[in-house]
Amino acid sequence: MLHIRRAELEELCTKIFMAMGLPAEDARDSAEVLVSADARGIRSHGVAHLERYANGLKAGIIKSNATPVLLHETPCSIVLDAQGGVGLSLAKKAMKTVISKAGQSGMAAASVRNSNHFGIAGYYSEMAARNDMIGISMTNTAALGVPTFAREVAFGTNPIAFAAPALEGRLFSLDMATTTVTRGAVEVCLREGQKIPPFWAVGKDGLATTDPVSLLDDMLFQRGGGLLPLGGSGKSGAGYKGYGLAVMVDILCAIASGGTFGLSGVAGYTFSNKDIFTQFKPEVKSVKKKQMRKLENVLNELNMNSIDILFIDVEGFELNVIKGIDLNEFDIKCICIKAVPFTQQTKELRKLICSKGYKLIANISSDEIYVKIQNNY
């Protein structure tokens, strides 16, 4: 596995975006959003999508120097026409505007139409949460999802993201597609030469498929078949709920903004219309602090049932690999280094990790070392 420092990867992606014709600021913002997906393990929406943006720019579907048009603005809302511009950077700018407006009005919303793929929806909702606000981000996409009991696509993956802040920088973050998986997840299987699980999608015949090649090709040219709604096919898994949520996102993002939806999107690309909302918390500090403390208690209760451990097998492990990893980027409570036998390399690895600011809390046996991340305790 190749490990690259986050800052170096962002710089590389920035240069690539600039080579595609994006202005420097837009290139930096776009690179930051893409790399943030890989940093949290969402390979379906990370730098692997650079080729997709390059193809879109070459085809003229994505406009590198598009200037958004302001269609409507109030003290607590804004509506933009992206003119086919890059969704990554524009969505970030829109959320910054919404956060600023919400700081003055208590609540604000932005709607962006005629845009393109904007990466992970959770990036933008978390922008609000890190400003002590509740953030909601949604987008509709080109048709990729098959309605309940159907065999042809009618709606997009249409993700919904929600984030709320707790104490000391902690937050709750939900980022989910309203289909069982995203197209990006199918692309990951294709890149790794794997079949997709049979409950992800149906083929042109309306039956379950495990072939990522034919599925992606059929979705690209809308020949039939597509991703199942969240909950799967039929009524037994309550797939109609995912179907309903997807349509809700279409209504909020496309119809409300005057944008495109469903089959009116460009096949193979995402002409997405984003509704990005954020709600500012009460100005009374005591009330806001009380709300954040309640959420902190909820998160603590949920975490009581989870184990966040990173296991490292030292056998054959290259010490220079961990030097390229910023462990502070990961929400890991415990690192378990296992090596049999307890070698000099293990001792060096322990020393290296501790030098990064992690504290050794127990040496369970000669072949296990546990260290804790101080930021999470």
Count Cα neighbours of 106 within 13 Å in the Cβ-side half-sphere: 4
- How far is 305 from 54, CA to CA, in rounded Å? 43
Helices 87-105/24-39 angle, 10° precision: 90
* Token duo for residue 166: 């707790």
Res 185 pLDDT > 60: yes
- For position 8, what pLDDT does the model report? 92
User: In which order are the strands placed within the sheet that holds 160-165?
Assistant: 69-74, 77-81, 107-113, 274-280, 133-139, 160-165, 171-176
- Per residue in 208-237, pLDDT tens? 999 999 999 998 888 899 999 999 988 888
DSSP class of residue 145?
A: B
- How far is 180 from 104, CA to CA, in rounded Å? 38
How many CB atoms are closer than 10 A to CB 300?
Answer: 11
- For position 309, what pLDDT does the model report? 41
- For position 286, what pLDDT does the model report? 54
Please state, rounded to an integer, the average pLDDT across all residues of the chain.
79
- For position 311, what pLDDT does the model report? 45
DSSP class of residue 265?
A: S
Q: Quickly state the pLDDT bin for 324 (edges 50, 70, 90).
A: very low
The structural domains of the chain, with segments of one domain joined by +, span 62-280, 309-376
Q: What angle do CA 261, 266, 267 make, to 5 degrees?
A: 110
- For position 208, what pLDDT does the model report? 93
78 contacts 101 by C-beta, under 8 angstroms: yes
Which residue do the tokens 């409950």 mark?
199
State mean pLDDT over 68-80. Answer: 92
Res 329 pLDDT > 70: no
- Per residue in 201-216, pLDDT tens? 999 988 999 999 999 9
- How far is 132 from 170, CA to CA, in rounded Å? 10
Res 334 pLDDT > 90: no
- Per residue in 88-127, pLDDT tens? 999 999 999 999 999 998 899 999 988 888 999 999 999 9
- Per residue in 28-47, pLDDT tens? 999 999 999 988 888 888 89
| CATH code for the structural domain at 62-280 | 3.30.1370.60
Res 341 pLDDT > 60: no
- For position 147, what pLDDT does the model report? 92
- Per residue in 146-181, pLDDT tens? 998 888 899 999 999 999 998 888 899 999 999 999
Q: Which residue has the higher pLDDT, 194 or 43?
A: 194
- How far is 46 from 41, CA to CA, in rounded Å? 9
Could you tell me the pTM of the whole model? 0.76
- Per residue in 289-319, pLDDT tens? 778 888 888 877 776 544 344 444 444 433 3
Omega cis (within 30) before 341: yes
- How far is 59 from 218, CA to CA, in rounded Å? 20
- For position 277, what pLDDT does the model report? 58
Active site residues: 117
- How far is 12 from 270, CA to CA, in rounded Å? 24
- Per residue in 130-152, pLDDT tens? 999 999 999 998 899 999 888 88
Instruction: Out of 18-27, 58-67, 145-154, 355-364, give the one with best mean pLDDT.
Output: 18-27
- For position 195, what pLDDT does the model report? 95
Q: Per-residue b/e over 91-103, b at no fewer than 16 CB within 10 Å?
A: bbbbbbbbbebbe
Res 1 pLDDT > 70: no
